[in-house]
Amino acid sequence: MSVIDFLVPASEACLRSGPNDKIVLSSRVRLARNLRTVPFPSHSKKAERIKAFETLMPAVKSLTLLGQEIFAESMDKLPALDKQVLVERHLISREHAAKNAGSGIVLNREENVCVMVNEEDHLRIQALRPGLQLRQAWMAIDAVDTALQEKVEFAFSERYGFLTACPTNLGTGIRVSAMLHLPGLVLAEQINQIIQAVNKLGLAVRGLYGEGTEALGNVFQVSNQMTLGEPENDIVERINKVLLQIIEHEENARLSQMEKKPAVLLNHIGRAYGVLGNSWSISSKEAMNLISFLRLGVDLGVFGKTPKSLTDELFLRSQPAHLQLAHPLREKLGSDERDLFRAQMLRERTSLIPNPDPQALLGRRDESSPE
Amino acid sequence: MVCQFCKLKEASVHVTEIADNKVKKVDACAACAKEKNYNDPAAFAIADHLLGLGAAQKMEEASEAVGALSCDQCGYTQADFKKSGRLGCAHCYDIFSDGLDSVLKTMHKDIRHRGKVPAGMKSAFEGAHKLEGLNRDLQVAIAQEDFESAARLRDEIKAFKASE
């Protein structure tokens, strides 16, 4: 079975919901682990990488925690399109998508535990959850890690903890991150302040696909940088606390925009609706920035009962690999063709959304200031 | 300009060294530069970018501290570490630990692991940490000329080591 058949369709994937998911799109915890006796993947010879692969794939596949139905494959068996779809679903890194023989992926049926074999480390095990669920994600991946430790021996030092290829991951090997949708803070021009404050707390703020990527569609990824010198729980709790504060700031920014500048908000949301519903060629960057305002409109009740899953689906389906997948010929599209096809898909789906209702914003403003 | 070593290829690495108040200029092609170990000092800037400001300088100090060390298990060298900011294998952490601590200090909360420990390692891990704590207390007691405590700590350490 190909991974595309294994994955649920985009529409279904976007139905997953969790706490605070108006602002927190998803939570993730990943652990980096290495075998004690084999050099790290970046420095190992092909034979050593294969040895690590052949040790780790069966160990991961046999984890009862992952359930009966899993997808497990060597990266060289995956077509480029399938790899790109996995990147767009945030299941593997862009670096891992570039790997071939000697690297692999194991994914469970729920698509909430995904293991990369021979990425930068021998193992990158990750748990994903919709909305703000960092604790749940940590507990899930902690259990997977503990179960794996009964099967293989990880590189561990009494001094430095779990040993990793890059010293930035040393100790716990943990990376706790959440994907946030922050249009309110961007519109209120408070986002840079927030990013600076978050950076000062030792957390990194990045774009949609992690390290070195742009914050398209007002989506930001917040994650810890320090991995050594404190327990996993402290790291998880610290980020959780910071995220709750960011959520509060985003909510306040939205409220104050609604009170002070409802016309500006409506203008952004209305124009986004207009362009998405009527364009015949649209780049992914423009589309994502407009879909962000559509999502904000849905959050604020401007589009009646339209579920936010619909805007999330538009976001996912606008990505290059998902577009190609939806194309009748499944051929690799040139960027011009892609922009045409993206516009067509967006027009069709935006037509399912009712016209924006200005009263939803203006009415709410009257309620909040009765005098 | 032609490489001064092989005199064949175009020189792409230009290094000016000042040692003992003498200026020495080297113009080499990429292959000869690598062979003669003339590294591109700009390579450190990548570490700054990746690991935060100041990391590059610390890494340079670290790689100087470890000298020409290389890992006897995977063959990883100081130059490899300098270039990539990564290590080759688990054993590298023992080999390069002297220089590594200063790098780790710039990127982490502390340089001692306080998180999850594999089930089979727990007693050894706790033992190592207890011993480290006792040694630290002993140093403090000696510095404060509190010889009564120092003597007690010394005996404790002795007894702890004997019990292991």
The answer to whether B52 and B107 have CB atoms below 8 angstroms apart is yes
CA-based Rg of chain B, rounded to a whole angstrom?
23
Separation in Å, CA of A84 to nearest CA in chain B: 25
Separation in Å, CA of A227 to nearest CA in chain B: 6
Q: What is the pLDDT of residues A164-183, one digit of tens each?
A: 999 999 999 999 999 999 99
**DSSP three-state, residue B7:** coil
Q: What pLDDT score was predicted for residue B43?
A: 46
Average of per-residue pLDDT across B80-91: 88
Average of per-residue pLDDT across A251-272: 95
Closest chain B residue to A145 measured between Cα atoms? B118
User: Which among A39, A159, A172 has CB closest to B89?
Assistant: A39
C-alpha span between A161 and A158 (Å, rounded): 6
Q: What pLDDT score was predicted for residue B73?
A: 87
For A67, left (φ over 0), alpha (ψ -120 to 50), or beta? left
Please indicate whether, in this complex, the C-beta atoms of B116 and A145 are within 8 angstroms of each other.
Answer: yes
Provide the ipTM: 0.83
Closest chain A residue to B55 measured between Cα atoms? A168
Q: What pLDDT score was predicted for residue A365?
A: 47
> Which pTM value belongs to this model?
0.81
Q: What pLDDT score was predicted for residue A157?
A: 92
Q: Return the residue in A29, A36, A168 with the most chain B beta carbons within 10 A, the one to mutate for interface testing.
A: A168
Separation in Å, CA of B54 to nearest CA in chain A: 14
CB-CB neighbors (< 8 A) of B56 in chain A: none
CB-CB neighbors (< 8 A) of A40 in chain B: 86-89
Closest chain B residue to A235 measured between Cα atoms? B115
User: Which among B100, B115, B118 has CB closest to A154?
Assistant: B118
* Chain A residues in contact with chain B using a Cβ-Cβ cutoff of 8 Å: 34, 36-40, 42-44, 120, 142, 145-146, 149, 154-163, 165-168, 170-172, 174, 202, 225-232
Of A93, A138, A84, nearest in space to A115 by CA: A93
Average of per-residue pLDDT across A124-148: 97
Average of per-residue pLDDT across A272-283: 97
Q: What is the pLDDT of residues B28-60, one digit of tens each?
A: 887 777 777 665 544 444 555 555 556 656 666
**DSSP three-state, residue A128:** strand
Q: What pLDDT score was predicted for residue A140?
A: 97
Average of per-residue pLDDT across B148-160: 86
Enumerate the domain spans of chain B: 1-39, 41-115, 119-163
Please indicate whether, in this complex, the C-beta atoms of B86 and A167 are within 8 angstroms of each other.
Answer: yes
Task: Give the number of other Cβ atoms within 10 Å of residue A66's Cβ.
Answer: 21
User: Which among A163, A172, A174 has CB closest to B93?
Assistant: A163
Closest chain B residue to A33 measured between Cα atoms? B90
Average of per-residue pLDDT across A234-255: 97
Is the pLDDT at A269 greater than 80? The verdict is yes
- Name the DSSP letter for residue B36: T
The answer to whether B83 and B59 have CB atoms below 8 angstroms apart is no
Please indicate whether, in this complex, the C-beta atoms of B116 and A36 are within 8 angstroms of each other.
Answer: no
Listing DSSP states for A166-235 in one string gives SGGGTBT-EEEEEEEE-HHHHHTT-HHHHHHHHHHTTEEEEBTTBTT---GGGEEEEEE---SSS-HHHH
Please indicate whether, in this complex, the C-beta atoms of B108 and A161 are within 8 angstroms of each other.
Answer: no
Is the pLDDT at A305 greater than 60? The verdict is yes
Of B120, B84, B8, nearest in space to A156 by CA: B120
Q: What pLDDT score was predicted for residue A370?
A: 45
